[in-house]
Structure 1
Amino acid sequence: MKKLLLGFGISVLSLGFLFWNLDLSGFTSILERWKPIFLVPFFIAILWGLLLFSWRWYLLLGKKVPFRTALLSAYIGVGANQFLPARGGDIFRLYLCKKGESIGYGSLVSGIFLEKVLDFSFIFCAGLGALFILGVNGPETKILFPLLGILGIFSALVIVRLFHRHLISLGEFLFSKIGKKEFFSEKLAPQVAELGSFLTFRNVSSYGVLTAGTWLLGYAIHYTLLQYLVGIHLSPLETVFIMFCGAVGVMVPSAPSGAGVYHASITSGFVLLGRESSEGLVYATTVHLGQMVALGILTAILYVYWSFTEKERTE
């Protein structure tokens, strides 16, 4: 409850700061630039992006559940994340995969964990790479910060791959000092071991390509279509950087779907790119609202379908 209240508090403060300090004139011109025809391809792009996401989820689970189960759980879980606190949609996804299937929770949790590592690694490297190429805010930001960030991510993955057993031993030693060795051994050590075993060249290359496709051929397309919807145009590199900003925003504790913090993060990204802050707030609001409505409708339909089919199967 405390974490939930903290998240809502951060969101309220973020939204209050944005709407109190920024010029909101950009919202008044939306109707002049509004092109609702782009809502149709946007919804198709949502479906396509989640299809790629579902296929990777199915593979990360080692094909231990039917693809239909992986597909429905991914669509419903991602949609539920828009409305449930603390990424509750991911927990719902685990429940849907577990119900009626023989897969254990250990495999499900490992799949979620590897999924987050893949997404985090790719979008941070892609976002920092875009920042490097765009070269915003002078040579220091252009060269040093992005390269150090990318190097840090790759170095961390290499260390986990080569020394994951030593890291587990070190973790057990450190956690034993605070009386939490059992917690580390049961909850964290298996994930470190799983990640260390997963980081082979074959897995990194194949799952890396699939993750890149999910972001660049899925999410980036619906981010781009919403630009045309409200007449705000970004280059492909700028779009990747803004996606990176949005991803950072939803990592901060906040209300469901990252409300407020997500808006602040994307608005900050627009400012870094030399664009108007009001334009960034309009775009962030458009993306956030578009995703919530599209995913909300889709999730409701699929959850009703899953409920009926599950009822028929158990009767």
Structure 2
Amino acid sequence: MNRKLKRGLQLTLPLLIAVGIFYFLYKDLEKETILSALRETDLFWLGASLFVGLIGYLLRAWRWKLLIATREAVSVKTAPVFWALMVGYLINLLVPRAGELARCGAVTRVYPISTGKLIGTVVLERTIDLVFMLLMVTLAFLLQGAVFLEIFGLLVSIPALTQFVQSYFVLGMVILLGIVVVLYLGYIKFKSHRLAGKIRQFLRQFVSGIETVYQMKNQWGFWVASLLIWFIYFLMMYWIALAMSATNSLSMGSVLMVLVMGSIGMVAPVQGGIGTFHAMVAFILLFYGISEEQGKIFAMVVHASQMITILVLGGIGLLYFLPKRISNLSEERNVY
């Protein structure tokens, strides 16, 4: 397949799926119903949600800076890391997951830090976020167990899942073992090749990024920031729930359940969780007596507030790194 065509499909196919889901969800929703809900929205709580969301992004940048700065001779500042983070979020709206590489590339424009290490720190960050997300799921189960089990029963058939695992477990293990053997034989054959040397160097840098989690100096700050980031996610959604008349009676436990389901929707490989986030949030709100149309409007407001923040701050981030690139190019011309 032509490389340009492949890249075009990677960009447009997830976007088409996202737009299709979004259109299917909102095609029957009256414009006046949306406008009426927006007019009744309490701007104080909406503004509070946007403000605390900004604090969350700053905390994310500061936490990432702690990892990046570990064992580096240069002094890493929070501001460039923050703008790199926002550029990454912006790129993710165009190409799912590409923003992780983009933010690493942005940091390398400012600091002489290996890309391999930066990618390692990003993988570490995402892994820690996954752990905290699982903790949130556990907390939601403890607080909203009945609703949780009802939803799980609707979405997953336990007998079918058990049968699937029993039927394909051995086959899966054989395939996994085969992949390991092929990779090992490939390594033995090509270990002296120049490309293999570059891969080994990248992997060493990657591992060094993973290792920063126990080598960094400010351990307490890192873990407290990780906890606060997820608490802020909760506050962002809870305060928007308070802002809207249809959802202002939801309990904290209910909002936590909505946050968990929305987070699952954001994991889907589509741009910015468009469509999937809205579907999951509207679905769970039905269990709390919120009508389908009001659930969709709530999901739209929550998602739009985050997307607008990312578009604005991500755009500023691109402008921030533009002169950095020009400066680097000028230095290269002077050298040559």
Partner of 2:20: 13
Q: Does 1:117 align with 2:127?
A: yes
Q: 1:239 aligns with which of 255, 273, 282?
A: 255
Q: 2:137 aligns with which of 124, 127, 147?
A: 127
Q: Specify the SS of the correspondent of 1:221.
A: helix
Contact between 1:52 and 1:214, CA under 8 Å: does it hold in 2?
yes
Contact between 1:6 and 1:253, CA under 8 Å: does it hold in 2?
no
Q: Does 1:288 align with 2:299?
A: no
What's the TM-score, normalizing by structure 2?
0.70
Q: How far does residue 253 in structure 1 lie from its aligned partner after superposition?
A: 2.0
Contact between 2:11 and 2:94, CA under 8 Å: does it hold in 1?
no
The aligned amino acid for 2:137 is G
The aligned amino acid for 1:94 is C
Q: Specify the SS of the correspondent of 2:281.
A: helix
Q: How far does residue 32 in structure 1 lie from its aligned partner after superposition?
A: 4.8
What is the alpha-carbon distance in structure 2 between the residues aligned to residue 276 and residue 177 of structure 1?
Answer: 53
Q: Does 1:48 align with 2:55?
A: yes
Q: 2:111 aligns with which of 93, 98, 101?
A: 101
What is the alpha-carbon distance in structure 2 between the residues aligned to residue 9 and residue 179 of structure 1?
Answer: 39
Q: Specify the SS of the correspondent of 2:25.
A: helix
Q: Does 1:214 align with 2:229?
A: yes
Q: Does 1:249 align with 2:265?
A: yes
Contact between 1:10 and 1:261, CA under 8 Å: does it hold in 2?
no
Q: 2:67 aligns with which of 30, 36, 60?
A: 60
Residue range with higher mean Cα deviation, 286-295 or 21-30: 21-30
Say which one has the larger Rg: 2
Q: How far does residue 193 in structure 1 lie from its aligned partner after superposition?
A: 6.1
> For structure 1, which runs of at least 5 residues remain unmatched after alignment?
146-169
> For structure 2, which runs of at least 5 residues remain unmatched after alignment?
1-7, 156-174, 191-195, 332-336
Q: How far does residue 56 in structure 1 lie from its aligned partner after superposition?
A: 1.0
Partner of 2:283: 268
Question: What CA deviation, in whole Å up to 9, does each residue of 1:135-169 have, x standing for no partner?
Answer: 23486779xx9xxxxxxxxxxxxxxxxxxxxxxxx
Number of residue-to-residue matches in the alignment = 285
Q: In the TM superposition, what are the counterparts of 1:174-213 in structure 2 within 5 Å?
A: 174-177=179-182, 186=199, 207-213=222-228
What is the alpha-carbon distance in structure 2 between the residues aligned to residue 289 and residue 77 of structure 1?
Answer: 18
Contact between 1:118 and 1:208, CA under 8 Å: does it hold in 2?
no
The aligned amino acid for 2:107 is C
The aligned amino acid for 1:244 is V
What is the alpha-carbon distance in structure 2 between the residues aligned to residue 247 and residue 191 of structure 1?
Answer: 30
Partner of 1:166: none
Q: How far does residue 240 in structure 1 lie from its aligned partner after superposition?
A: 2.4
What's the TM-score, normalizing by structure 1?
0.74
Question: What CA deviation, in whole Å up to 9, does each residue of 1:94-132 have, x standing for no partner?
Answer: 111111422111110111101111111111221232133
What is the alpha-carbon distance in structure 1 between the residues aligned to residue 79 and residue 13 of structure 2?
Answer: 37
Contact between 2:80 and 2:110, CA under 8 Å: does it hold in 1?
no
Q: Specify the SS of the correspondent of 2:94.
A: coil
